Amino acid sequence: MAKNQPKVVILCGGKGTRLKEETEFRPKPLVSIGGVPILLHIMKTYAHYGFKEFVLCLGYKKEMIKNYFLNFAEMNNDFSIDFSKKNNKGITYYGKETLRNWRITFVDTGEEVQTGARIYKVRDYIGKDSDFLLTYGDGVADINIKDLFYYHKKANKIGTVTGVHSASVFGLIEHSNGIVKTFREKPKIEDVISGGFFAFKSQIFDYIDPDDSCVFEDKPLKKLAKEGELSLYKHDGFWYCMDTQKHVNFLNDLCDSGRAPWQVWK
């Protein structure tokens, strides 16, 4: 791991109730995209740009995420076990799937806890006076994380949010006097929305209420914006949030066809 690189905090504790088909059996970050959990896609994006130290904010079905990584080498590679080794199993791995130089801290932030409280609960694992990156465990993008962090440092604000363009879920009708002039199917919205890829200075913890009901996207970010301490990094490339089964199917179709633009590590 490179020295002085910021840690990456990933929110992995929600119940994902709008994706009940999947999340009844597993936490949302473990929903499979292209044969592996979406969480691994997200982490590989950060690792590709040199950010390999992660802090996972766990909650719902936390043991499944822990077990996935505890058994990662065995589950993702061919291997041999030499039981002739005294007092120890000699294991030889033959695959190429590795998390070399990664460091992952698993933090139980509770089940019935909102996003702000989860972030506050991992403050001691980030380090005093340290900048850090933050994202959710259900969104992928071909975002250049190095550029995002460089922009954050240059802006010199407490926080930086990535702004993305999202397509409307409805067709847009332009009309006059009861006559349709143009019809655009699911056009991209001109205004940007939060893409969920953030960078923060440690001062952000002064804006977060430690109470379990604290929603990070509400008072903390609103106060930051009101004080002029939230900069905007625009991302015009691919971005997608997995929120329903339709979204899962779409991302899997992209992987199956070899057209997954967020897989920048390949």
Give whole-number Cα distances, 83 to 72, 80, 88, in Å: 20, 10, 8
- Distance, in Å, from the CA atom of 108 to the CA atom of 88, rounded to the nearest integer, reads 31
Query: What does each of the 266 residues of the chain score in pLDDT, given as a tens digit?
Result: 555 789 999 999 998 888 888 889 999 999 999 999 999 999 999 999 999 999 999 999 999 999 999 999 888 889 888 887 665 667 888 877 778 899 999 999 999 999 999 999 999 999 888 999 999 999 999 999 999 999 999 999 999 999 998 755 445 556 566 665 565 555 555 578 899 999 999 999 999 999 999 999 999 999 999 999 999 999 999 999 999 999 999 999 999 999 999 999 98
Record the pTM: 0.89
State phi, psi for 68 to the nearest 5 degrees. Answer: -60, -45
Instruction: Return the ∠ at Cα 31 (arms to 25 and 33), rounded to 5°.
Output: 150
**DSSP, res 251:** H
Architecture of domain 7-83+93-162+192-256: Alpha-Beta Complex (3.90)
What residues pair up with 254 in beta bridges, in sequence order? none
| Contact yes or no for 250/239 (Cβ under 8 A) | no
| Contact yes or no for 162/144 (Cβ under 8 A) | no
Give whole-number Cα distances, 69 to 60, 61, 102, 166, 187, in Å: 16, 14, 11, 32, 40
Closest by CA to 48, choosing from 137, 146, 134, 161, is: 146
The full set of domain ranges for the chain reads 7-83+93-162+192-256
What residues pair up with 56 in beta bridges, in sequence order? 10, 106
